[in-house]
Amino acid sequence: MKPIPGAKPVPLGQLVRAQDRLSFIYLEHCVIHRAANAITARDAKGTVHIPAASLGALLLGPGTTVSQQAMVLLAESGSTAVWVGEQGVRYYAHGRSLARSSSLLEAQAAKVSNQRSRLAVARQMYAMRFPGEDTSRLTMQQLRGREGARVRRLYREHAARTGVKWSKRDYQVDDFAAGTPVNQALSAANTSLYGVVHAVIVALGCAPGLGFVHTGHVLSFVFDIADLYKAEIAIPIAFDIAAADVADIGAETRRAVRDHMKGSTFLETCVRDIKALLLDDDQKATEYGPDTFDADVVMLWDDNGRRVAAGTSYGSSDDGYVETDPSYVEIAQWMDEDW
């Protein structure tokens, strides 16, 4: 048998956990290729090698050309490639998940599909933003009101701290440069934050579109999780950049967000917070334990609520079912009676 052409996949044991990875790297106007197990970015200044297995998200901006082998390596490494627009402030598409299990996705889908559990998760999200406040009995309208007042207060406080003139959050989606410097910086900081949060969400195997507070958008859950950290990351960084009067607000803001995350435990915190929101205590201790999410195991669903092994022949030589399994005996009897 001839060997399969192309580079061998990256061994699972060499992949870095989502919480231990680099946050993100933004590239534009370069050619992206592969050299062994590294991504290469080449422009007029030279070539840079980027370890794919330890990268969270690769943000591909305008003027980037990426090879098929580079995308294969990113996919095998569980590194999310996110195509973004000019200045890195528009999302277009993303790559593959790091997760080998659907456990968190199933937990997310179960909670978002039930009104009571969805409200409980939404309250928990707001509680994480309002330390010391009891949100357990507040309606969504009350929670949104408190959040709106909180964000307006933060804008005023940082405007006073930095001396930046502030009136309101105002920006044009199709014209980045039309906004004031601080609004440009806020857009760039938020988008950088969205990129990293998006990378963590898909790395864990969750659905970016199944939001609890936000809804109806393909990135609803990304917006939910990113909102947990805007007060400590995006807003203060944006006002600092606006006060510094830099030439390229978008680039400087992205670098400031990257440097902040590099010196912190942001990825670890983001992973921990997502699991805390989606999993109950008993789930964390049993089938949804820490080793479950990295397990490369395929199971079959059974209508009695359990899982059975895949890759197994459940038929006998006469095309019946294995009689030692009661559930399959019942199915066989039902088929005999009805067919």
Which of 101-105, 131-135, 316-320 is predicted least confidently?
316-320
Q: How far apart are the first and last CA of the chain?
A: 44
Structure tokens at 51: 């370890």
Please say which residue of 49, 73, 94 terminates a domain. 94
Domain match, 32 and 85 both = yes
Structural domain containing residue 302: 298-338
Are 162 and 54 in the same domain?
A: no
Is the separation of the CB atoms in 81 and 94 below 8 Å? Answer: yes
CATH code where residue 86 lies: 3.100.10.20
Give the count of alpha carbons within 13 A of 149, CB side only. 8
Do 256 and 113 share a domain, yes or no? Answer: yes
Residue 100 confidence class, pLDDT cut points 50, 70, 90: low
Percent of the chain whose predicted confidence (pLDDT) is above 70: 72
Q: Is residue 152 part of a domain?
A: yes
Q: How far apart are CA 129 and CA 131, in angstroms?
A: 6
CATH of the domain at 178: 1.20.120.920
Q: What's the average model confidence in pLDDT over 113-131? A: 94
The CA distance from 131 to 119, in Å, is 18
Q: Tell me the pLDDT tens digit for each residue of 317-335.
A: 555 444 444 444 444 444 4
Residue 147 assigned as binding residue: yes
Sheet holding 64-66, edge to edge: 46-51, 38-43, 30-35, 64-66
The average pLDDT across 156-163 equals 96
302 is in an annotated binding site: no
3 in a domain, yes or no?
A: no
Q: Is the pLDDT of residue 247 over 60?
A: yes
Q: What whole-number distance in Å separates Cα of residue 120 and Cα of residue 143? A: 12
Domain count, the chain: 3
pLDDT at site 73: 83
To the question of whether residue 227 is assigned a binding role by annotation, the answer is yes
- At residue 120, the pLDDT reads 95
Q: Are 139 and 272 in the same domain?
A: yes
For 260-313, write each residue's pLDDT tens digit.
887 778 888 998 999 999 998 766 545 444 444 444 556 677 777 677 776 566
61 plus 184 within the same structural domain: no
Please tell me whether residues 88 and 115 are part of one structural domain.
no
Is 6 inside a domain boundary?
no
Judgement on whether residues 151 and 178 belong to the same structural domain of the protein: yes
| 56 in the same domain as 138 | no
